[in-house]
Structure 1
C-alpha cells in the first residue's frame, strides 16, 4: 500500500448524505500538502478512522498498514520495520517515531510508547526519510499528529469503554478531553487524560497469576498555545505516561500461559513503563519563510522482566535457560531549527539543523543462567551515550505547470560511547554520512499524479562490548541503503474514488545481523556483524471507493520480496538466498462502511474490517540446528466489526475485535520462548458525548 487515504471523516453523527471523501492534508515533507501531491508513499489515517477501526497501539497499526511489521518484547516495548528493512539487531532505530515534532525513539530498543489519543491523524512515511528525519528513518517514519488547542471555542468530550476478553478479564477505560480558550484568539489549553484498567488474558498457573497482562495505564497530555501576534505561535506540550503489567514480557504459549523455564512458579518483576515528555515549539512567520524551533526533553524509567529458553529446536536442545529483572533509565534532549519557504512561487525549500543528546543505562543486578545441570549467577550494567548533529536541506522547483523536480541532502554525525561494568575502559566511535534524495512528480491533471524518487538511508554502527578476558571485541560498521520508487496517486470520479500504487527496489548494504560466536572460557556469545548485501523489491496499492453516499469500501495490499544476495561477514547467521526476518511475502486489508439512520434523528453506522498477514520468517544459522533453520510466525487473518448510533448527542458503539478468536503466533521467535500471540476475541461497548 503506497498511500492509504483513509481520510473520510466517519463521525457517528454524520448522516448518509453528509459523509464525503475529504481531501487529506499532510505534513510529511514538513510543509502542508495534499496527499496526492506528495512525491512519496504515505499511509495517512485520520483520528476518526483510527477510533473507528479500534486502533490503539503500534501493534494494531501494524495490521492496519500492510508492509509495516514489528517485534514486541511485551507491552510498549517494540521495534518497527517497514518495507522489508527489518532486523532486530544494531543500536539505532530503523523506523523513526515522532509525536508532532518530538522524536520518540532513544535507541532501536528504547522507544517511548505512543497510544492513539486525541489525534488528527497518523502518517506512515514509507521508504528512507533520511533527508528530513535523520538516521533512524532507514525504512521510514511514523508520525502521530495530535490535535492543537483551539483559541476560539470551548469544547470537550468524555468517553467510556467496557470490554470483555475471551477466557480473560474484563477491561475498563475512560478518556476525557477539554479544550479551554483562556484568552480568546490568543491563548488556549487542551488537556487529555486517559485511564485503562484490566483486560488481561495471560496466566502463570504455577505462580498463581491469572490474567496477569492486564494493564493499569494512565496518560495525561497538556498542550498550551499562545498566539500573541498573527506571525508568532508558541506551543508547549507536557506528557505523563505510566503503565504497569503484572506479567510484562508479553510472551505466551498456545494455551495462553506464560512459561518461565528456570522455574515455572517463579514470579518475575512486573513491568512498569514511566516516561515524562516536554516540548516547546515556537513558529514565526518571516514573510518569505516560516521559522520553527522545536525543543524537547524526555525521561524514561522502565522496569521489566526477561526470560529465555533455548528450546529443542535450537542448538542447545532445551539445555539453556535464563532470566533477569531489568531496569532501563534514559533521557534525551533534542533541538531542531527549521526554515520552510512560503507556499507561493515555483521554488520551494526547507533547511534546518538538528541536535540530539541521549544517554541510556541498562542495569541488571542479577542474571540467572541455567546450562544443563549448572547454574551461573552474574550481573550486567551498561551506560550508552549518543551525541549527534545534522544539517539538512531540501528544495523543489516547478519547471512547468505539470513537472516538479526536487533534491535534498542531510549531513549527519554521531558520536557514541559505551561503558560496560567490569570492562577495561569506555568504547567510543564516531559515525557520519551524507544522505541525499532526488525526486520528481508530474501532474497528469489536478487530481492525478505520478512520481519517482531515489533516496539513501543510513544507520550508525556500534559496539560488541568486551569478551570474557576484558579484550575489546570488534565494532560493527554502519549500514546504508538506496531505495528507488515509482508511484501513482489519483482522486477519481469527482473524489468518489481514491487510488494509489507504487513499486520500489532497495539495495541494502552492510546489513547488521546477530549471530553466536564461541569465546574461549565463556562459550557462545551474541556478536553483531555486517553480513553483506540484501535486496528488497515490493509492490503496494490501496483504494477507497464511495460506492454510494452511504457505502464506502477500502482495500490495501503489500507484496514484498526480501532476500540476502551477498555475504561478506564471518560467523554470520545467514547465507545467500535466505529471506529477511520479519518480512511477510504479502499482506492486505479489506474494509466496508455503511452509514444509515435508525430513525429520523438517530444516525448510525456499521463497519466491517479484515486484515491478513502471511507468515514471517526468522533465520539464524548460528542458533538453530540444520533441520530447524527457518522459524516462522503464523499466517494471521483478523476480523473486526463496529456498530453505532447517536441518541440525543450520546454516541453508543458496540465493537468486536478478532471476532473469530484467532490464536496464533505474531512473532517467529517462539523457539526461544520469546514470542507474543494474537489478542483473544474482545467485545466491548463504548459510550461517549461531546460538549
Structure 2
C-alpha cells in the first residue's frame, strides 16, 4: 500500500495503521463478494464496504466523505462497488493495487482513467445521485419537495464523541427543548408548544416514533440510546393529519439501521470519562448483524450499558456526587425476506434507567450543592414488542406496524416541611397497544398519495403516596384510558412543473374513560353522584384538515406555505385529593418558509420559517392548594415562531452551521381556573404582584441559537482526522404558570469539542463537553414542595473529558 507522508507525524500514524489494515483484510479484495451497502453518506458506505471485503480505502478530500450515495446490493468486487458508488459524482477512484484504493476529487485525478469492467447483472443499484428522503412524511417525499420545516440528523453524527441519547439531538436542533428531570422522565417540546414540567396525565405535545412504531402516548420520553441509528427526523409544527393526537409541536422519528441479509458484521464502541467536581463515567455499546438463513433471514441486535457519574453534593446528609445514573438496554430485530417484495420484521426494545437521586441543586448554597432531608431519584423502564410487515410494488408500497408498549416510571421527591422528614412518591404505569396500516404512492410524474388507518389503546395508572419515610400514606391517584380509531389520507398534485399542491385530512374517533384510586370520601345524597365524582367516560370526534403549496423557484430553492392542525384528547387530573376532568386542546398553525440547498451536498444552504399558532384550551400544570402538581385547561394562547438555519462549506472538508429560533408565546385568554390559582397564590406571595412574563407559555426559551463546525482532513491514505465543535445558547424561560412555578430557567451557554482520528472502521476519539465549566440552569425543578423562591436549579454537567474507541467489522 502506498503511503503519502508529508511529515513525520503523518508517516508514523500511517505506519501504525498497517497491522490493523492487514489483519482486517482477506486474501484479495478483488474477489467478488455478496455486498449490502446502505444509502446515505459515502463514509458510511465505505465503512460497510471495508468490513465486507477487507479493502483499504482512503480519501484525499474530507468534503467527499459527506457526499450522498445510493444503496448497493449484489455480488461484485470492491473495485466494482466503489466505481458504482461514485458514478456520476464529483469524485473519482484511483486504484493503488488489488486491495487498496483512494477516492479523490475529479479535478485531482492524475493517473490515466481506467475503463470499468462490465457490471455483474445480479448487482442492484438504486439511482446514481439519490435525493434525501423524508420518510417521516409517510410517503417517501424528497426533501426538496417537502413543504415544511424538517431536520434530518445523521445517526453516526449523533454518537460522535460518545452516546448521549436525546441530549445529542437537543444539541443540534435549536427549535427542540426539554425538561431535565433525568433519563426516562423528561418531556420534549418543539417550537413554542409546551405544556408542563411534570409527568402527569397530559399527553405529550411531541409525537415520538421508532421507525413506524409509536413510542409513547401520554408517558415521558423514554430517552432510548441512539446506538446503530441511521438517522433522526424532526418535523416541526402540528402533524395531526398524518400522526394524529399528541403531535401539536411536531414529531421525532428515529430510523434504525435495518438487518442486512446475507451479511455478517458488527460494531463496538467504548468510552471512559472524567467529570470535574464529580465521579467518573463509562459507556459501552455494540451491534451484531447475523445472517440466520442464507440471504432470507437476518438478525440485528444492539446492547449497551452506561454509567453517568454524579456531581451534586448533599450537605445535610453529607453525601457526595449523589445524582449518579445507570442506563442499560438493547434491542433486536429479526428480518425475514418472504419473497415477492414482502418483508417481515419482528423486534423488541428494552431499556432501564436508574437515577440514584434527583438532579437539582440549591442556588443559595452555591454551585453544585443542596440540602435535602430525604433522597429523591427515579426508576424508569421501557419495553416494546413490534411486528412490521411491508410490501413494495413498482409504484406502490404497503406497511403494517403493530406493537405493545409497557412503560414504568417511579419517582421520589423530598417533601420535608418544618423540619419533619417526608417523602412523596409517584408511580406511573403505561400500557399501550397500537397498530397502523397504510398504502402509498411516492410522488412521481406530478402525483402522489397516502391513505391509512390506525387504532390505539392506551391506559395510564398514576399512584401517589405522601408521608414519613418508610410509612407513606396513599393519596388520591388516577387512571386514564383511551381508545382511538382514525382514518387519514393525503395527496399531492403538480398542476404545473415546479408547483406542488397538497391536501389531506384525518378523522379521529376517541373513547375516553378513567377513575380515581384511593379518593377522598365523597359526601353525596346518591350513589350515582358519588360515583360520578371519581369516574368519567366520554367520546370525542375530531376532523383535522391540512393544506400546503410549494414552488421550486430555482433548481435548489423551494418556497412553501402550509396550514396544519393538531389536538390532544382530554382526561382526568387530581386536585386537592379529588379527581376532575380537563378538556381536549387544539392548535392550528399557519407557516411559510423557504429552503435553499442541501447540507453536505451544496457549498451553501439556508432554511427560514415563520409560523403563527392559535392554541385553544391549553392543557398545562400548576400547583394545587395541597402543594401537588395538577393539570387543567388554563385558557387560550398564541405563539409566533421564527427559525433560521444555514450551512457554509468555505473549504474542502470544512462545514460551518448556524441556527436560531425565536418564540413569542402568550396565554391571551386565561381560564377561570388559572385566574383562581393565581389569586390563591397571591395570598401567600410577599409582593402580591405578577409580572407579564408569567403569562408566557412555560418551558420554552424565547431565544435559542447554535453555531457549530465540522472539519475532516486526510492524515494519510488510510487515516482521517475529524474535528467537531459547537456553542449553544439557551435563553430564559419559566418553569410554569403562576408565581409558584414562575421560577426562571435557561439563560446559559453550552459547549462541546470532539476530535477523532482513524479509519472509517476504527478510530480513537477525544471529547470535551461544557468547556467553560459553566453551572447554568437547565431546569428549575427538583421537588414541587420547594418550587417557589427561585432556589432550585438543574445545573449542567461540569466539564467532562471522554476518550473513546470505536470499531466496526
Whether the TM-score (by the shorter chain) exceeds 0.5 is yes
Q: Contact (CA 8 Å) 1:10, 1:52: kept in 2 or not?
A: no
Q: 1:205 to 1:26 in 2, by over 3 A?
A: same
**Aligned equivalent of 1:98:** 209
Aligned pairs for 1:188-199 (under 5 A) are 188-199=298-309
Q: What CA deviation, in whole Å up to 9, does each residue of 1:394-425 have, x standing for no partner? A: 11111111111011111112222222223353
**Aligned equivalent of 1:661:** 773
Distance 1:525 1:195 in 2: 34
Q: Contact (CA 8 Å) 2:66, 2:601: kept in 1 or not?
A: no
Q: Contact (CA 8 Å) 1:662, 1:680: kept in 2 or not?
A: yes
Q: What CA deviation, in whole Å up to 9, does each residue of 1:523-555 have, x standing for no partner? A: 677554333321111211112222121211111
Q: 1:15 to 1:609 in 2, by over 3 A?
A: farther
**Aligned equivalent of 2:764:** 652
Distance 1:526 1:162 in 2: 39
Q: Contact (CA 8 Å) 2:425, 2:464: kept in 1 or not?
A: yes
**Aligned equivalent of 2:611:** 504
Q: 1:609 to 1:348 in 2, by over 3 A?
A: same
Q: 1:14 to 1:457 in 2, by over 3 A?
A: farther
Give 3-state SS (helix, strand or coil) of 1:192's partner: strand
Aligned pairs for 1:110-509 (under 5 A) are 110-247=220-357, 249-254=358-363, 255=366, 259=370, 261=372, 264=373, 266-268=374-376, 271-285=378-392, 289-307=396-414, 323-367=423-467, 377-423=473-519, 424-425=530-531, 426-465=535-574, 473=580, 475-491=581-597, 495-509=602-616
Structure 1 residue corresponding to 2:803, chosen from 662, 669, 685: 685
**Aligned equivalent of 2:724:** 607
Distance 1:239 1:571 in 2: 40
Task: Please say which of residues 589-598 and 404-413 is displaced more in the overlay.
Answer: 589-598
Q: Report how far residue 430 of structure 1 moved.
A: 2.5
Give 3-state SS (helix, strand or coil) of 2:292's partner: strand
Q: Contact (CA 8 Å) 1:633, 1:669: kept in 2 or not?
A: no
**Aligned equivalent of 2:738:** 621
Distance 1:116 1:648 in 2: 19
**Aligned equivalent of 1:627:** none
**Greater strand content:** 1
Q: TM-score scaled to structure 1, two decimals?
A: 0.88
**Aligned equivalent of 2:659:** 556
Task: Please say which of residues 136-145 and 649-658 is displaced more in the overlay.
Answer: 649-658
Distance 2:492 2:759 in 1: 50
Distance 1:15 1:209 in 2: 53
Q: 1:484 to 1:569 in 2, by over 3 A?
A: same
Distance 1:439 1:221 in 2: 37
Give 3-state SS (helix, strand or coil) of 1:582's partner: coil
**Greater helix content:** 2
Q: 1:138 to 1:309 in 2, by over 3 A?
A: farther
Q: Report how far residue 32 of structure 1 moved.
A: 1.9
Q: Report how far residue 482 of structure 1 moved.
A: 0.9
Q: Contact (CA 8 Å) 1:87, 1:512: kept in 2 or not?
A: yes
Q: 1:532 to 1:192 in 2, by over 3 A?
A: same
Q: Contact (CA 8 Å) 1:204, 1:259: kept in 2 or not?
A: yes
Q: 1:199 to 1:526 in 2, by over 3 A?
A: closer
Q: Report how far residue 622 of structure 1 moved.
A: 5.9
Distance 2:169 2:792 in 1: 21
Distance 1:297 1:450 in 2: 40
Q: Report how far residue 515 of structure 1 moved.
A: 4.2
Aligned pairs for 1:588-599 (under 5 A) are 588-599=705-716
Q: How many corresponding residue pairs?
A: 655
**Aligned equivalent of 1:547:** 650
Q: 1:83 to 1:342 in 2, by over 3 A?
A: closer
**Aligned equivalent of 2:153:** 45
Distance 2:619 2:731 in 1: 24
Q: 1:157 to 1:516 in 2, by over 3 A?
A: closer
Q: Contact (CA 8 Å) 1:74, 1:251: kept in 2 or not?
A: no
Give 3-state SS (helix, strand or coil) of 1:78's partner: coil
Q: What CA deviation, in whole Å up to 9, does each residue of 1:86-120 have, x standing for no partner? A: 1117611111111111111131x444332222111
Q: What CA deviation, in whole Å up to 9, does each residue of 1:296-349 have, x standing for no partner? A: 011123333123589xxxxxxx89995323333221110101111254343211
Task: Please say which of residues 80-89 and 166-175 is displaced more in the overlay.
Answer: 80-89
Q: TM-score scaled to structure 2, two decimals?
A: 0.76
Distance 1:619 1:271 in 2: 22
Distance 1:677 1:9 in 2: 39
Q: Report how far residue 183 of structure 1 moved.
A: 3.2
Q: What CA deviation, in whole Å up to 9, does each residue of 1:543-588 have, x standing for no partner? A: 2222121211111111111122223434435797722211212111
Q: 1:664 to 1:598 in 2, by over 3 A?
A: same
Give 3-state SS (helix, strand or coil) of 2:463's partner: strand
Distance 1:92 1:350 in 2: 26
Q: Contact (CA 8 Å) 1:342, 1:348: kept in 2 or not?
A: yes
Distance 1:565 1:366 in 2: 36
Give 3-state SS (helix, strand or coil) of 1:131's partner: helix
Give 3-state SS (helix, strand or coil) of 1:679's partner: coil
Q: Which runs of 5+ in 2 are unaligned?
A: 1-39, 48-57, 69-130, 520-529, 679-689
Task: Please say which of residues 8-17 and 641-650 is displaced more in the overlay.
Answer: 8-17
**Aligned equivalent of 1:35:** 143
Q: Contact (CA 8 Å) 1:201, 1:256: kept in 2 or not?
A: no
Q: 1:74 to 1:422 in 2, by over 3 A?
A: same
Q: Contact (CA 8 Å) 2:447, 2:493: kept in 1 or not?
A: yes
Aligned pair 1:19/2:65, yes or no?
A: yes
Q: Report how far residue 201 of structure 1 moved.
A: 1.7
Q: 1:621 to 1:243 in 2, by over 3 A?
A: closer
TM-align CA RMSD = 2.9
Q: 1:260 to 1:10 in 2, by over 3 A?
A: farther
Q: Contact (CA 8 Å) 2:59, 2:714: kept in 1 or not?
A: no
Q: Report how far residue 390 of structure 1 moved.
A: 1.2
Distance 1:298 1:571 in 2: 34
Q: Contact (CA 8 Å) 2:161, 2:755: kept in 1 or not?
A: no
**Aligned equivalent of 1:640:** 752
Q: What CA deviation, in whole Å up to 9, does each residue of 1:17-74 have, x standing for no partner? A: 4333535322121122332221111111111221236562324422321121122333
Q: Report how far residue 198 of structure 1 moved.
A: 4.1
Q: 1:525 to 1:639 in 2, by over 3 A?
A: closer
Distance 1:77 1:322 in 2: 22
